[in-house]
Amino acid sequence: MEMVNITINGQSLSVPQDYTILQAARQAGIDIPTLCYLKDINEIGACRMCLVEVKGARTLVTACVYPVNEGMEVFTNTARVRKARKAVLELMLSNHNRNCLTCVRNRNCELQKLAEELNVTEIPYEGEYTPSVVDDFSPSIVRDNSKCILCRRCVAVCKKIQTVGVIDATERGFKTKIGSSFDKSLNETDCAMCGQCIAICPVGALHEKDGLTPVWNALADETKHVVVQTAPAVRAALGEEFGLPIGTPVTGKMAAALKMLGFDKVFDTDFAADLTIMEEGTELINRIKEGGKLPLITSCSPGWVKFCEHNFPDFLDNLSSAKSPHEMYGAVLKSYYAEKAGIDPKDIYVVSVMPCTAKKFEAQREELSGTGYPDVDAVITTRELAKMIKEAGIEFNKLEDAVFDSPFGDEATGAGVIFGATGGVMEAALRTVSEVLTGKTFDEVEYEAVRGTEGIKEATVTIGDLDVKVAVAHGLGNARKLLESIREGKANYHFIEIMGCPGGCVTGGGQPIQPAKLQAEIDLKAERAKALYAEDRALTYRKSHDNPYIKKIYEEYLGEPCGHKSHKLLHTHYHERPKY
């Protein structure tokens, strides 16, 4: 790459010629504030917070889109620049709902942080507010336009990364707002409920639907036996809400905190992930042996499933009928567990702690009630669990490690743990399918070909005398590319894993929110995935079919994978939804 020589604040730099001023400054350790900028996703110069002075230019320029050139002289901290940035921020705040203390993003808001850094102590521009509404009809996502700053980061991630595109800027001038076509609620669109818009919103204009109130109420209800289960990805990110480094595993502290919150039992969804592999893996084997419809596509990600129902209904028969792990667990808790514990299923209240906002939507599906009751009663996100812990006055970082409750939690496998990372479901399935198909035991269980953060990964895995062609996609945009290539006859597979969120569950829409600047510097999905792979390597059992509790539940209750009883409890169906 050809280099150019520039100076920023008198500092001489040599940078690639395709850099912007912002990239060059950050490489040199010089901070330029941004709000609308999201690396590789939203680079539009809309917010004007990154204004800088370039010698010879008639006006200030936006650093995030202005290219460098040979001999350029840039100044990022002149009186003119500071005055302009402060005026821009004050104007932005003049049309903003400033009830910061009661905002979901209080103390984790990029706008609030800039106001502090730029020493904004009053708003001199008081006037008319843009008319705004709160859209809270979705079971997963709430939009509050009174807090929107029109940065368009949500629009960019929905349209460019997820290729759903249900929101955009509407109206013009002062009346401009972010909304859906014809002012529809998100619930009336083909929104996948993935929550990626929440994860990149710099303010409190987007957040998950409240799940805490019903959970607190259930915990206070003495007639309810309240149990909680936690998804594998939660342990890899929860610590961030308490100041721990990104990717710090907090499994033991999380279990301890949940017990202190008053849950009657604390279970690990990893057990149900093992159960999912038994059902889904058997389903794959049966389809291969019996000439069933291929490729078999995973159905663990509810955002992906809803996306498929709207956009690829011709692939619904390819979806595994196996429920997602937490829904399977709910069905088991209200049947097998209820019988063993002597508790009426109607009195069992199942709470799922998930990295995913789409799980809130999934829990409301009528078809997920194999016992006659909803498999899962309430879903809260990783962020919401952190709020519960803080509200209860629990000093998370000082907790001693605890373990999950028996009879399920203390013997999950590494295969279940890695479900949280893209490629993890595929790898877990291959660990089991390879041994079941061949009747042999393999010491090497790590399938590197399906790991990593590449958008679409392909591999051919030889199992006995069969070459199994597999693919892994994460993010709905990559899912669209993959399925369109199959539609067009350009690709052919036996088994496909699709996760709705880029990076898989570790970067789900319910995970801790990190500022855009940090997201540009650190690969969140890779760092959080490391925690899961490390836990996998440390566990005694790394294959789902080796889990002694999995063997026990089939022997005592379910019979066999994909058998009559397990099909009734652990499998479901999906249906076409309108394309708006």
Positions marked catalytic? 280, 283, 300, 320, 359, 362, 367, 505
**Torsion sign over Cα 338, 322, 160, 511:** positive
Residue 18 is which amino acid?
D
Structure tokens at 171: 């109206």
Closest by Cα among 149, 166, 150 to 158 = 166
Q: For residue 121, how many other CB atoms are within 10 A of its CB? A: 7
* Strands 206-208 and 348-354, bridge-based pairing: unpaired
Closest by Cα among 137, 140, 194 to 165 = 194
Rounded CA separation 485/473 (Å): 13
Q: What is the DSSP letter of 542?
A: -
Rounded CA separation 426/346 (Å): 35
Q: What is the DSSP letter of 571?
A: B
Rounded CA separation 313/304 (Å): 12
Q: Which of 542-559 are b and which e, b meaning 16 or more Cβ less than 10 Å from the residue's Cβ?
A: bbbbbbebbeebbeebbe
Beta bridge partners of 268: 230
Angular region, 127: left φ>0, alpha ψ -120 to 50, beta rest: beta
Beta bridge partners of 54: 74
What one-character-per-residue DSSP string does 372-393 give?
SS-S-SEEEEHHHHHHHHHHTT
Helices (H), 439-475: none
Q: Is 89 helix (H, G, I), strand (E, B) or coil?
A: helix
Closest by Cα among 553, 506, 509 to 249 = 506
What one-character-per-residue DSSP string does 160-224 give?
IIS-----EEES-GGG-EEE-GGG--GGGTT-----HHHHH-SSSSEEEPP-HHHHHHHHH-TT-
Residue 124 neighbours by CB under 8 Å, 6+ apart: 90
Residue 402 is which amino acid?
A
Q: Is 147 helix (H, G, I), strand (E, B) or coil?
A: helix
Closest by Cα among 459, 487, 461, 463 to 473 = 459
Angular region, 243: left φ>0, alpha ψ -120 to 50, beta rest: left
Closest by Cα among 200, 205, 204 to 42 = 200
Residue 217 neighbours by CB under 8 Å, 6+ apart: none
Angular region, 413: left φ>0, alpha ψ -120 to 50, beta rest: beta
> Do residues 360 and 211 lie in contact, with contact meaning Cβ atoms separated by under 8 Å?
yes
